[in-house]
């Protein structure tokens, strides 16, 4: 059983201990606290130390305020390497330094004593308790934090001029402002606040015997601050591995590059961009292990198997780099790497009804990339086309991303084994699909609606590639407002038919009052307004053609277009050999 040293301590008891020598290691995140967190910390501490703005209501013998845990382990350099509590620890150091700066010129006995106590928390001391102001009690080696030197300079010099723009400097100036305001309001009791912070605010230092133990402890804590992500934990394992190989500096450089790249291209709903990269790679490793189970393990649980064995292989980091490069080029619609047809397929998949295609495509890339990280364009295009047809259909016939796991996970295994993607056991009956599509209610709130409309727009081979940065919404060609005024549709359900909808740029704001088709046409084509400003039309070719060739859009048009879309999609399934 791993040994732990756990002993509740005051801030002074922890910081002033001669053995306290904190290190924020390379693999930690950059400092991230902002005004909101600092404001909350200040208000909480102030209200604790001065109940109802009355210093006399505080009981120094029994009142305590718990600030949270600090998880560390003693590294080979005998420093307390911080695994959890980094943000809180850093902020408290800035707060104490701001107090110390204000006490610098005060000569009364209480102020002198407070100043001496603050010194012992900020700087290392000799055997007589005299501070050595060249040796701080905390150091930062965070590899991806370009501002860590500002933090150390603030602690050394006690100043953060306005030209310092880091979060450290901004938060230090915030505390200076709060302290100045406090001094003006309570000049006679100024020494009480830092004293009560030092002596009555409590931390729970948890010192583990190893980094692994510290990481396990961290994963069980509900941290009030900014906890490490799964990817941060993985970084620690990589860091140890490459340090042992003598390649620490190279690893830090490579990791930072992947991290910056991932932040630009991944925007997950939960977790960090790096977590998303590890998730996409996880599906490849699952497939290599022939895992077809529809139950997907949590990200950290998957990678921690066999003492993080997967993160102790050179190829893992290399594969992550290649995968990040691939998705970066997808995000940038790189025309040197991909053909126009592939980019068109990728664009349509960007509007998929769920995110499974990202994992499927990641597995395809990892299995089929050549030595330069490139794919055979024709084969890749065929793969993208087939998974589009399957995922779109499955979203209607078997809704829910969980249902999609069974067929897709099996095909992921087939991929890594070099087999063709067939979905042999999951092919569709043409009549059943057509019936379900005809009876499906394609409301705007259902993701498959925009998926189908995007697929249909690109079914026209003349449709040019669109920018992923452009925002598209769903347009009712026969406007709802028009039905309210004219009651021209015998069946109001036709308003929500695929035949009456198209994707349209959000910037083309067709006002609700412009319900007539004639008014819509000018927006589709583009026009010059009364001020002489040119308003560009849509890039959707079908809508451009409607504006050129149609005088109206009626119930007959809606019905005919709906049938055309569904028939074309059934043909799309047939072309991809997905029909029984």
pLDDT, mean of each 10-residue run, the chain (580 residues): 73 93 86 93 93 88 91 89 90 95 75 89 88 92 78 94 93 95 86 92 88 69 57 87 90 93 93 95 97 89 92 96 98 97 98 96 98 96 98 92 91 96 95 95 95 98 96 92 87 94 87 72 86 88 95 95 97 97
Q: How far apart (Å, rounded) are the C-alpha atoms in residues 364 and 377?
A: 12
Is the sign of the CA dihedral 522, 527, 533, 534 positive or negative? positive
Q: How far apart are CA 404 and CA 320, in angstroms?
A: 25
Strands 201-208 and 9-10: antiparallel
Q: What is the pLDDT of residue 224?
A: 43
- C-alpha angle 158-160-166 in degrees, rounded to nearest 5: 130
* Whole-prediction pTM: 0.74
Torsion angles phi and psi, residue 445, rounded to 5:
-75, -10
Q: What per-residue confidence (pLDDT) applies to 107?
A: 65
Q: Which of 202, 232, 198, 201 is nearest to 215 (CA)?
A: 232
- Please tell me the predicted confidence (pLDDT) of residue 469: 93
d(CA 375, CA 472): 30
The per-residue pLDDT for 25 is: 85
pLDDT at res. 534? 87
Of residues 180, 50, 202, 198, the one with CA closest to residue 113: 198
CB 170 within 8 A of CB 35: yes
Convert 177-211 to b/e letters by CB count within 10 Å (16 or more is b): ebbeebeeeeeebbbbbbbbbbbbbbbbbbbbeeb
Query: CB pairs under 8 A, 24+ apart, for 570-575?
Result: 570/430, 570/433, 570/434, 572/389, 572/455, 572/459, 573/389, 573/393, 573/428, 573/430, 573/433, 574/430, 575/389
Sorted by sequence, the CB contacts under 8 Å of residue 445 that are 6+ apart come out as: none
Question: How far apart (Å, rounded) are the C-alpha atoms in residues 150 and 308?
Answer: 35
What's the rounded Cα separation, in Å, for the pair 547 and 542? 9
Give the CB-side neighbour count of residue 209, counting CA atoms within 13 A. 4
> CA 540 to CA 508: how far, in whole Å?
12
The pLDDT of residue 1:
42
Distance CA 440, CA 148 (A): 56
Cα 204 from chain centre: 30
| CA pair distance 87, 272, nearest whole angstrom | 17
How many helices (H) and strands (E) are present in the chain, helices listed first? 24, 13
Token readout for 237 is 């394992």
Neighbours of 39 (CB within 10 A): 12
Percentages of the chain per state (helix, strand, coil), in multiples of 5: 55, 10, 35
What is the C-alpha separation between 120 and 125, in angstroms, rounded? 7
């Amino acid at each position: 059983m791993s040994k732990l040293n756990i002993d509740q301590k005051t801030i002074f008891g922890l910081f002033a201990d001669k053995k306290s020598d904190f290190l924020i290691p390379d693999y930690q995140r950059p400092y991230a606290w902002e005004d909101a967190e600092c404001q909350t910390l200040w208000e909480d501490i102030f209200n604790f130390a001065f109940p109802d703005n009355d210093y006399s209501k505080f009981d120094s013998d029994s009142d305590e305020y718990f600030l949270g845990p600090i998880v560390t382990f003693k590294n080979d350099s005998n420093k307390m390497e911080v695994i959890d509590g980094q943000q809180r620890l850093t902020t408290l150091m800035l707060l104490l330094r701001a107090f110390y700066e204000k006490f610098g010129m005060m000569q009364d006995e209480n102020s002198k004593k407070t100043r001496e106590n603050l010194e012992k928390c900020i700087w290392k001391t000799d055997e007589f308790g005299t501070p050595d102001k060249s040796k701080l009690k905390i150091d930062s080696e965070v590899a991806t934090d370009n501002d860590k030197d500002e933090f150390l300079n603030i602690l050394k010099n006690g100043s953060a001029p306005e030209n310092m723009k880091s979060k450290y400097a901004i938060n230090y100036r915030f505390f200076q402002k709060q302290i100045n305001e406090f001094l003006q309001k309570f000049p006679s009791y100024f020494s009480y606040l830092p004293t009560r912070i030092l002596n009555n605010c409590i931390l729970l230092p948890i010192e583990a015997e190893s980094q692994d133990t510290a990481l396990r402890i961290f994963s069980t804590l509900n941290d009030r601050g900014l906890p490490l992500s799964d990817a941060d934990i993985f970084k620690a394992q990589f860091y140890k591995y490459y340090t042992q190989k003598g390649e620490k500096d190279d690893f830090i450089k490579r990791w930072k590059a992947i991290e910056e790249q991932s932040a630009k291209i991944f925007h997950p709903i939960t977790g960090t961009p790096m977590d998303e990269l590890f998730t996409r790679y996880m599906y490849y490793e699952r497939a290599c292990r022939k895992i077809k189970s529809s139950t997907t393990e949590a990200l950290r649980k998957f990678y921690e198997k066999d003492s993080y064995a997967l993160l102790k292989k050179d190829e893992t980091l290399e594969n992550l780099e290649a995968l990040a490069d691939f998705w970066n080029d997808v995000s940038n619609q790189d025309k040197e790497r991909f053909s126009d047809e592939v980019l068109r397929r990728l664009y349509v998949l960007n509007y998929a009804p769920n995110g499974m295609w990202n994992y499927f495509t990641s597995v395809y890339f990892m299995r089929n990339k050549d030595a330069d990280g490139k794919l055979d364009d024709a084969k890749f295009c065929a793969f993208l086309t087939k998974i589009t047809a399957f995922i779109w259909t499955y979203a209607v016939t078997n809704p829910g991303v969980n249902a999609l796991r069974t067929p897709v996970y099996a095909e992921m295994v087939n991929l890594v084994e070099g087999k063709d993607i067939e979905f042999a056991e999951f092919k569709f009956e043409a009549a059943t699909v057509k019936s379900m599509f005809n009876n499906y209610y394609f409301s705007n709130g259902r993701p498959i609606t925009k998926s189908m409309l995007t697929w249909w727009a690109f079914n026209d081979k003349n449709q040019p590639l669109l920018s992923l940065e452009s925002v598209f919404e769903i347009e009712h060609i026969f406007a709802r407002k028009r039905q309210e005024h004219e009651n021209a549709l015998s069946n109001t359900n036709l308003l929500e038919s695929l035949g009456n909808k198209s994707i349209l740029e959000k910037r083309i704001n067709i006002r609700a009052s412009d319900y007539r088709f004639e008014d819509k046409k000018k927006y589709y084509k583009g026009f010059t307004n009364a001020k002489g400003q040119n308003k560009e039309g849509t890039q959707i070719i079908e809508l451009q053609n409607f504006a050129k060739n149609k005088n109206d859009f009626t119930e007959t048009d809606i019905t005919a277009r709906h049938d055309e879309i569904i028939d074309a999609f059934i043909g799309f399934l047939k072309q991809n050999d997905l029909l029984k």
